[in-house]
Structure 1
């Protein structure tokens, strides 16, 4: 199938598919006699895997590492487990940081909400922060 058909099959743009090919996430497409890219069903499976991986928050570099393991004939499931485990740890850390930030902003907002702007200290940029 041509690149437009592959893009439609997975809900991506042709530009995205070319980008993935240039980044090495997809092997170079076969070319027809007229120079058009031709993709097989394996490319669709690979593009679907890339999309699912991105939904899980994996970076293109992480996805490429998983694909390289697979391309070397090794099942990457153990590696994927480790990557997802690290992803969970990173997400928990970010959630904790955001929760602390939210508490700080909520505290400052409560102070600002109760304050009278006419009493703002003109010597400071803003006495609320």
Structure 2
């Protein structure tokens, strides 16, 4: 199959497929007589694996390591577990950060009465913060 067909089958952009090839995540396909890349079912499977890992927000370095385990499955299960545990820790840290961001935005939103009669409490807070003053969204309360 051609790169466009591979892209359509996996939902991965053509340029991303080429990037994965350059990074060594996806083996370079054979070329047809006309110079077009000729992808096989193994490329589709590997690209689908990469896409799934990326959907789990795994860094490309970790995806590469996982692909190495797929290529040589010599009982690296402890390493795979460790990789997933590290990703889980990153996700949990981001969730904590997102909850803090949500709290800040709620505190900022509470500054607006909704009427905007002459001024906006949200903009007032943001301008104050830009001037180095304390703002509602970064208060400890």
Q: Offset of 1:77 from its aligned partner? A: 4.6
In structure 2, the residue matched to 1:14 is 14
Shift, 1:97, TM fit? 2.6
**Aligned: 1:31 with 2:24:** no
CA RMSD of aligned residues (A): 2.8
Aligned partners of 1:98, 1:9: CA distance in 2, in Å?
A: 33
Aligned length: 123
Instruction: Confirm or deny: 8 A CA contact 1:108 1:128 kept in the other structure.
Output: no
Matched, 1:86 2:94: no
- Asked if the contact 1:70/1:76 (under 8 Å) is kept, the reply is no
In the TM superposition, 1:53-92 aligns within 5 A as 53-74=53-74, 77-92=77-92
Q: Deviations over 1:30-84 (max 9, x none)?
A: 1122222111111100011011101111011110111123223536554333222
* Aligned counterparts of 1:75 and 1:32: Cα–Cα separation in 2: 37
Structure 1 residues 93 and 11: CA distance shift in structure 2, 3 A? closer
Q: Which runs of 5+ in 2 are unaligned?
A: 136-141
TM-score, structure 1 as length reference: 0.75
SS in 2 for 1:51: helix
Q: Is there any run of 5+ residues in structure 1 with no aligned partner, and where?
A: none
TM-score (norm 2): 0.70
